[in-house]
Structure 1
C-alpha cells in the first residue's frame, strides 16, 4: 500500500490517513502536492488530503465512476507519467464534484488485459493499459504495432493530437470495442537485454539479436516483427518478467525504456537496444456508454480534462525520459541508467534501414497481410497502415518531441 504515495511515510501513518480519508482521496492529494509546490511530507499530505476530501464530498455526486488502472500507481507514475491520477483530480475539480471517480491502481481490481475487458463490457468506466496488452481484448489497438510505422515519439504525439485520429483511431474503437480513447504517453519499443550481455559488446546490429529469447507483451503484430528480425518471442506476463530476466529464462524483453526503472529491472538489464521498432503507449480510455450517459457539459469536461492531461503527459514524459530513466548516450548523471550501468545502444541509419527491409510491411508485406485486411475492414475499408504511415511522416524528421503542437483532436480547426 505504501507505493500509492510519495515520500517517506510509515505504514502506520499511511494506514491512518487512508482510514480517515479513503485511498482515492489520499492518492489524489499525493498527485496535487507537486502541482502546488508542497514537499512530500506527512504533514503536507495530511493537510492536502483534508482539503481534497472536503472538496470531493461537499456535494452529492451525480455520477460515481470506477477506474481500473491495472498496475499504474505511485511511485511508478513518477517514472511513467500516464496521466491517470492527474486526470481524475482535474475532472472532479472541473465538474465541481458532479463526477466522482474511485481509482483502483496497483492491480487491486484488475490487471491490464482484465481491465480492458471490464471496460469493454462496462464493468468499469475508465481503464489504463498499454495499447499492446489492451489489443488482446480490443484488437483494433493493433494499428499501432506495424513494424517501424512510427519514426519518432514526436510522430506519435502528433497523431494523438491530429483531427484525423478521430476517423482513423477513435471512431473504430467506439464502434467495435465501445471505448472512448482519451490520452496516452508515447515511447518507442526496443529490446532490454539481460546480464548475459553485460560484458559483451554493444548489440549494434539485427544479427546480434539472432535467436535471442525475448519476452513479448500481448501484441500480436509485435510477434510478427520480432520473428522477422530473427528473435524468438516468448510470452511472459509483466509480473513475471523480472524473475524471468533474473533467472536467465529469457535473454531480454521488448518494452519501452521507462519500463526498466518502473519495473525495478536495473539489476538485471545491461543494454537498452533502442531499435524503435514499434510504438509503446500507456493509454487511458473510457467505456463509451458511460461517456454517453453524461450530459453534454460533462462530456465536454471529460474531453477538456483529457486534453489537458495529454499535454501534461507529453511534456512531463519527455523530461523524465532524460532525467529519470536516462535514455541519452551517455545517460545523464543521477539517472536510473547511470546508477545501474545500463548502456544505451542506438542503431545507426544503415542498420535501421536493414531492419526495416526485413520487417516493415513496406518491404516485406506478406507476413502482415492477414492483419492488414482485418484492421482495414474495421477501419471502414481504407488501408489503415498507409494512412497512418503518411500522417506519421507529415511531421518533419527533425522536429523535437517537445515542439509538437497540442490540438483538440475532436474539434474542427476553426472551433479549437
Structure 2
C-alpha cells in the first residue's frame, strides 16, 4: 500500500498536481460565501498563473478526510494538504492547544496576525514542523468562537442567553480541545463531545442543547435551522487552517514553490480582510440582524452584551487573572525544546501590540512558510 501511495505522489509531482482535502465546497465556501475558504480561489489562481503547470486537486465535503483526520493524512503523505481547524487539530497536534486559551485574541484579525508573526514561526511552527513534518499552508477567514443554543435550550433557560450561569443544565457540544471543555464547564454548562455531523440531529432531538463554534462555519455547515440564539462572547480562536506536508513542499521546483507561497499568502490576506464584513453583514451578528443576513433569514436571536455582562463571561476564564487554569496548555509546549518558557505571554502581547492591525482591512503577512523551509 505504501508503495502505491508513493507512486501516486511521485506521479502527481511530476505532473504538477497535488491533492487537498477540504471540509467545504465551492458553492458554500468560496471567498464570497457565508463560510469562506481560500482553497477554491487558490486552485484557480495557481492553474492560471502557472499556465496549467500546477493543478490543485481539491477533494471537497470531507470526501477524502475530515477536520478530525486530515492532519494525520497530511503527516503520512497520503495527501499533500488538508483542512483542520486549530481546535480540531489538537486531536493530532496537541501543542495547538496553546492557541485556544480563551480571551487570548481581542479580534479575528489578531488571530492570524499572531500565528503568522515571525516570533510564532521561529518559536512554535519551526519546532512543530520538525516534529510533525507539517506546517500551516493557508487560512480561512478568522473568527472568534461564541455559544449557540437550540429552541429547546431557549425553553430550558426561559429567555435570552446573557449570563454564563444560565447554561447550567444545558448539554453543549464542544471541540476536542481541553480549553473548550474547561470553558463551558466553568460557565456551568455540561460539555460533551458529539461529532460535527451528528450535532444538527442532536440539537433537533434534544440530545444536546447547543454548541460552541463560530457563526459563519455553523451556518455554512447547515446548523442555521437548529440554532435559536447566539451569545456574542468571542471567547476563543476560530481559525480554519490548511495543513501541508513539508517534505512535499521541499521537493517542489523552486518556481512552483515560490508561486504557491505567493498565492497562498495573498489569498490568506484577502480572506482575513473580509472578517468584519462577513460577521456583520453576511452572518448578521448584530442586535438587529440586517435584512437578508443569515441570522435574519433563520430568525436567530443575537445577544450582544453590555460591558458588565461581557465581563461576567470573561472574568472566570481570563488568562491574566487565572493563569493556573491554563497551565496544562502551557505545559504542552515542553514538547518543543526550542520554545521559550514565556512563549504564551509573548503571544498574548503580540495580539495586542501597536503593530497589530486595528481592523481586518489593515492585516498583512510579513512572514510565511517559505521563509522557514530551509531551517526545518
TM over 0.5: yes
Q: How many pairs align?
A: 352
Task: Please report the TM-score for the alignment, with normalisation by the length of structure 1.
Answer: 0.78
Cα distance in 1, alignment partners of residues 95 and 347 from structure 2: 13
Residues 205 and 183 (structure 1 numbering): CA distance in 2 closer, same or farther, change over 3 Å? same
Aligned partner of 1:240 among 189, 198, 205: 198
Aligned pair partner of 1:157 in 76, 99, 112: 112
Q: Which whole-Å deviations, capped at 9, do the CAs of 1:148-181 have from their partners, x for residues lacking one?
A: 1111113113224433231244223312221121
| 1:76-111, Cα deviation, whole Å (9 max, x unpaired) | 202211211111222233333333222111121111
Specify the alignment match of 1:141 in structure 2: 96
Q: Deviations over 1:27-54 (max 9, x none)?
A: xxxxxxxxxxxxxxxxxxxxxxxxxxxx
The answer to whether 1:68 aligns with 2:26 is no
Give how far 1:130 is off: 1.1
Residue by residue over 1:297-330, the C-alpha shift from the partner in whole angstroms, topping out at 9 and shown as x without a partner, is 2222121011111122113443232332111221
Query: Out of 194, 212, 216, which is 1:254 matched to?
Result: 212
**In the superposition, relative to structure 1, how do residues 391 and 112 fare at CA in structure 2: closer, same or farther (>3 Å)?**
same
Tell me what 1:47 maps to: none
Q: Which sits farther off after the overlay, 360-369 or 108-117? A: 360-369
Q: How does 1:352-363 map to 2 (within 5 A)?
A: 352-363=310-321
Query: 2:236 aligned with 1:278, yes or no?
Result: yes
Aligned with 2:61 (options 102, 106, 120): 106
- 1:403, CA displacement in angstroms? 3.0
Question: Does the C-alpha gap of structure 1 residues 396 and 358 become closer, same or farther in structure 2, counting only changes over 3 Å?
Answer: farther
Q: Is the 8 A contact 1:331 1:337 kept in 2?
A: yes
Q: Give the structure 1 partner of residue 9 of structure 2.
A: none
Question: Counterpart in 2 of 1:226?
Answer: 184
Cα distance in structure 1, aligned partners of 2:55 and 2:115: 26
**Counterpart in 2 of 1:196?**
152
Instruction: Give how far 1:142 is off.
Output: 1.7
How far 1:398 moved relative to its partner?
A: 9.5
Structure 1 gap ranges (5+): 1-59
Task: Output aligned runs, 1:163-174, within 5 Å.
Answer: 163-174=118-129
Stretches of structure 2 that go unaligned for 5 or more consecutive residues are 1-12, 372-376
How far apart are the structure 2 equivalents of 1:239 and 1:332?
29
State the distance in 2 between where 1:64 and 1:305 align.
16
Match of 2:331 in 1: 373
Aligned equivalents of 1:295, 1:273: Cα separation in 2: 48
Query: CA-atom RMSD, angstroms?
Result: 2.3
| Correspondence for 2:277 among 312, 319, 329 | 319
Change (3 A) 1:398 1:409: closer
Aligned mates of 1:371, 1:257 — CA distance in 2? 25
Q: Which has the higher contact order (CA 8 A, sep 6+)?
A: 2
Contact 1:84 1:128 in 2 (8 A): no
How far is the alpha carbon of 1:353 from its aligned partner?
A: 2.9
Greater radius of gyration (CA): 1
Report matched runs for 1:52-91 at 5 Å. Answer: 62-69=15-22, 71-77=23-29, 78-91=33-46
The change in CA–CA distance for 1:224 and 1:168 in structure 2 (over 3 A counts) is farther
CA gap of 1:396–1:208, structure 2 versus 1, over 3 A, is farther
Matched with 1:186 is 142
Aligned to 1:359, what secondary structure does the other structure show?
Answer: coil
- Among 371, 384, 406, the residue aligned to 2:343: 384
Q: Which residue of 1 aligns with 2:363?
A: 404
Check whether the contact 2:146–2:213 (CA below 8 A) recurs between aligned residues. yes
Aligned residue among 45, 48, 52 for 1:97 = 52
Which residue number in structure 2 is paired with residue 19 of structure 1? Answer: none
- Residue 296 (structure 1) aligns with: 254
> 1:181 aligns to what SS in structure 2?
strand
Whether the aligned pair in 2 keeps the contact of 1:376 and 1:383 (CA below 8 Å) is: no
* CA–CA distance in structure 2, aligned partners of residues 246 and 178 of structure 1: 41
Q: What secondary structure does 2:236 align onto?
A: strand
Q: 1:367 to 1:316 in 2, by over 3 A?
A: closer
Q: Give deviations 1:340-381, integer Å, cap 9, x for gaps.
A: 111111233223333333123322233322331122442623
